Chain A
Amino acid sequence: AQSVTQLDSHVSVSEGTPVLLRCNYSSSYSPSLFWYVQHPNKGLQLLLKYTSAATLVKGINGFEAEFKKSETSFHLTKPSAHMSDAAEYFCVVSDRVGGATNKLIFGTGTLLAVQP
């Protein structure tokens, strides 16, 4: 079965410093992996998606993630945090249920706080 583990429930950084949100995955086949962001009282927004085309994936708002098969990791990074990045981030793996169905399996989330 597919699963993802987010290694930190809370991360706090100062504005202008790098962000690292860690995610490990478990998959019996080549996975599709995603990062979604949820701002307070908002819906889920897709940040980026990995589907085996390139191991380094660039997303919106300066975020990127690197797929490392040897480490079964898909960590999210950003060189310089902005106050508006404060939100909850979810690492997600797509699970083929059967036929033409993909359900998303969410990690437990990492709450990112950005200090001024």
Chain B
Amino acid sequence: DSGVTQTPKHLITATGQRVTLRCSPRSGDLSVYWYQQSLDQGLQFLIQYYNGEERAKGNILERFSAQQFPDLHSELNLSSLELGDSALYFCASSPIPGGDTQYFGPGTRLTVL
């Protein structure tokens, strides 16, 4: 158990809908990262937050957004969902902003029908 929690574990929704994935980092970790794992794209970095502020963006679609709250939990919002958004979404946290050891949550499996 890494100490990173993600909810929900599974999510099934329809095209065009909007969903929110939630992540709580390890106690004391200020930095949160989001990754997407899909069959065709593999594991890709989406976005990073540190202490409430966006720090870096990767291959994140404009339909996707994220935020980190004062209690350090983070949410990833996915809107206008398409079939291709079906994937496993991981959250990771690290103790310091430039810390490259990241601890991953169990993931949220999103299925878009």
Binding site for B on A (CB under 8 A): 32, 34, 36, 42-46, 49, 51, 90, 94, 96-106, 108-109
Q: Is the CB of B55 within 8 A of A100?
A: yes
Residue B102, interface by CB 8 Å? yes
Contacts from B to A (Cβ < 8 Å): 2, 33, 35, 42-45, 48, 50, 55-56, 58, 90, 92, 94, 96-107
> Which of B45, B99, B100, B105 touches A43 (beta carbons < 8 Å)?
B105
Contact (Cβ within 8 A) A103 B58: yes
B104 proximity list for chain A (CB < 8 A): 36, 43-46
A-B contact count (CB 8 A): 65
A97 to B47, CA, bound (A): 11
> Contact check: which of A45, A51, A99, A109 meets B55 at CB < 8 Å?
A99
In angstroms, Cα B100 to Cα A105, docked, is: 11
Cβ-defined contact, B58 with A43, below 8 A: no
Closest to B58 in A: A103
* Nearest-CB residue, chain B, relative to A42: B106
For the complex with contacts A43-B90, A101-B97, A103-B56, 17 further pairs of A-B residues with Cβ separation under 8 Å are A36-B104, A43-B2, A43-B104, A44-B92, A44-B104, A45-B104, A46-B103, A96-B98, A97-B48, A97-B55, A100-B97, A101-B98, A102-B94, A105-B45, A106-B42, A106-B43, A109-B43
The reply to whether A109 and B106 form a contact with Cβ atoms under 8 Å apart is no
